[in-house]
């Protein structure tokens, strides 16, 4: 079996996930993703399976693959928004992902971004490295209200951690998980995003990118609905935010800061408009990139492939 491995986290992190994959006897090629449609179209038909990151599996790519050898698509990670699931079903290419394995790592990254900004860690570090002893005044997060949009695995984990740090937690989701909410009654479930926009000091995004969620943080939201000059944190997808409106909102002090681990285009482009803007902190999509999380996700991705092979055999 010929397998293409494109997720860089999997490749760059030694551990049990690599051992599991390489002892299967597959013929493995590696590319460093995310891989675009134009790069996949000439090669996808040569592979029986792909263990992928956020590559561009459009209908054209899946059709070309299915006309060749492609039988399995196994996503390393949770989000499937870069895979045309309708096309995969049409061409009988099963798709798997790795839900509920990165919530600890990503929720910790949200808090790391928040602490970094509120305690001025990034600017203080750079200042000291230049030989300065200038001291900024920071802020505490205890007592602040965090609004979590999307109470999936990551959102729930962040809710628990935020509450433990003394924050008031508001959570919104299309699905109300009564079992979780009864166990963690310190989390207040709201049925309207407007409540979060009006009451939250910090807004954290945990949604997939869909037609409905694109530009969820829009010009209308920024200039007409946000009431507390909040910090917005995004460890989900860059397309959830209107970047141009966001920059204007920062300049007009409608938003205190934008802390993000994701961009609309990754890797970062030379002309990325969010780069170099005051009160924007960007990390290079590393929220789930811990040794522990990579090994969990990688092992699940490989086991998903092995289970698909077993089903067919």
**Tens of pLDDT along 77-117?**
998 999 999 999 999 999 999 998 999 999 999 999 999 99
Q: Which of 206, 237, 256, 289 is catalytic?
A: 237
What whole-number percentage of the chain has pLDDT above 90?
Answer: 98
Residue 295: strand, helix, or coil: helix
How much is the average pLDDT of 275-283? 97
Q: Is the pLDDT of residue 259 over 90?
A: yes
Q: Is the pLDDT of residue 168 over 90?
A: yes
Q: With b meaning 16 or more CB within 10 Å and e meaning fewer, what string describes 48-63?
A: bbbbbbbbbbbebbbb
The CA distance from 59 to 40, in Å, is 12
Do residue 79 and residue 161 come from a single domain?
no
Do 87 and 37 contact (CB within 8 A), yes or no? no
Q: How far is CA 195 from CA 219, 224, 227, 239, in A?
A: 17, 13, 10, 22
Do residue 192 and residue 165 come from a single domain?
yes
Q: How many CB atoms lie within 10 A of CB 36?
A: 12
Active site residue 266: yes
Do residue 74 and residue 137 come from a single domain?
no
Q: Is the pLDDT of residue 9 over 80?
A: yes
Do residue 97 and residue 107 come from a single domain?
no
Q: What is the mean pLDDT of the chain?
A: 97
Question: Which pLDDT score, from 0 to 100, does residue 312 have?
Answer: 81
Question: Which pLDDT score, from 0 to 100, does residue 98 have?
Answer: 96
Do residue 126 and residue 151 come from a single domain?
yes
Do residue 124 and residue 65 come from a single domain?
no
Q: How many CB atoms lie within 10 A of CB 38?
A: 10
Q: Is the pLDDT of residue 178 over 80?
A: yes
Phi, psi values for residue 131, rounded to 5°: 95, 5
Do residue 45 and residue 141 come from a single domain?
no
Residue 123: strand, helix, or coil: helix
Do 237 and 183 contact (CB within 8 A), yes or no? no
Give the CATH number for residue 77.
3.40.50.720
Q: With b meaning 16 or more CB within 10 Å and e meaning fewer, what string describes 200-230?
A: bbbbbbbbbbeeebeebbbeebbeeebebeb
Do residue 43 and residue 77 come from a single domain?
yes
How much is the average pLDDT of 216-242? 98
How much is the average pLDDT of 69-76? 98
Do residue 131 and residue 263 come from a single domain?
yes
Active site residue 265: no
Question: Which pLDDT score, from 0 to 100, does residue 313 have?
Answer: 74
Question: Which residue range(s) make up the domain with 96?
Answer: 2-101+291-312
Find how far residue 121's CA is from the centre of its chain. Answer: 23
Count the residues in the chain.
Answer: 313
Do residue 118 and residue 246 come from a single domain?
yes
User: Structural domain tally of the chain?
Assistant: 2
Q: Which of 71, 109, 285, 289 is catalytic?
A: 285
Do residue 133 and residue 248 come from a single domain?
yes
Do residue 125 and residue 44 come from a single domain?
no
pTM above 0.85, yes or no: yes
How much is the average pLDDT of 17-24? 98
User: How confident is residue 254, by pLDDT bands cut at 50, 70 and 90?
Assistant: very high
Active site residue 237: yes
Q: Which of 39, 108, 214, 266 is catalytic?
A: 266
């Amino acid at each position: 079996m010929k397998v293409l491995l494109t997720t860089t986290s999997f490749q760059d992190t030694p551990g049990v996930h690599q051992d599991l994959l390489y002892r299967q006897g597959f013929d493995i090629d590696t590319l460093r993703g995310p891989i675009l449609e134009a790069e996949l179209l000439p090669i996808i038909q040569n592979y029986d399976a792909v263990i992928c990151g956020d590559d561009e599996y459009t209908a054209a790519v899946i059709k070309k693959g299915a006309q060749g050898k492609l039988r399995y698509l196994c996503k390393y990670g949770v989000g499937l928004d870069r895979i045309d699931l309708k096309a995969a079903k049409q061409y009988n290419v099963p798709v798997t992902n790795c839900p509920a394995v990165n919530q600890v790592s990503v929720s910790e990254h949200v808090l790391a971004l928040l602490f970094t900004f509120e305690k001025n860690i990034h600017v203080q570090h750079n200042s000291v490295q230049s030989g300065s002893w200038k001291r900024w005044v920071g802020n505490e997060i205890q007592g602040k209200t965090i609004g979590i949009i999307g109470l999936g695995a990551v959102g729930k984990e962040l809710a628990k951690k935020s509450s433990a740090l003394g924050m008031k937690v508001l959570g919104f989701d299309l699905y109300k998980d009564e079992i979780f909410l009864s166990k963690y009654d310190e989390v207040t479930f709201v049925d309207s995003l407007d409540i979060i926009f009006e009451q939250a000091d910090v807004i954290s995004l945990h949604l997939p990118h869909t037609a409905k969620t694109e530009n969820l943080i829009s010009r209308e939201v920024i200039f007409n609905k946000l009431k507390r000059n909040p910090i917005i944190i995004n460890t989900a997808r860059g397309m959830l935010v209107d970047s141009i409106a966001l920059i204007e909102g920062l300049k007009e002090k409608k938003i205190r800061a934008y802390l993000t681990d994701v961009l609309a285009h990754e890797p970062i482009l030379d002309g990325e408009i969010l780069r170099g803007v005051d009160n924007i902190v960007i990390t290079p999509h590393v929220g789930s990139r811990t040794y522990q999380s990579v090994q969990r996700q990688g092992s699940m991705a490989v086991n998903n492939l092995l289970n698909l092979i077993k089903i067919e055999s």
